[in-house]
């Protein structure tokens, strides 16, 4: 134990990036359920922006696409058999 106030583990802080801006994606297809599952956790909830690094504009589009996919039964509302 050190007496100096230093962090115990030094880790690199990575800059978060929006994968949609980086790839140049403008439209998020709600029919691609496999892609949308990357933004949903094991319980079926949407992952927040702070975890995915998505910008606000595209996070809203992802949320809308997931809602549409759930509505037409491409994705489940509950997490019984998701991943």
Cα torsion 17, 32, 38, 54 to 10°: value is: 20
pLDDT for res 11: 72
Length of the chain: 83
| Low-confidence residues in the chain, pLDDT < 70 | 1-8, 10, 80-83
**Run of H or E residues at 57:** helix 56-71
């Amino acid at each position: 134990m050190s007496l100096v106030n230093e962090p115990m583990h030094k880790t690199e802080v990575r800059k978060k990036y929006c994968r949609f801006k980086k790839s140049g994606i403008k439209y998020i297809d709600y029919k691609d359920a496999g892609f949308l599952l990357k933004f949903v956790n094991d319980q079926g909830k949407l992952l927040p922006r702070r975890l995915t690094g998505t910008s606000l504009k595209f996070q809203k589009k992802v949320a809308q696409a997931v809602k549409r996919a759930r509505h037409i039964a491409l994705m489940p509302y509950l997490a019984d058999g998701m991943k």
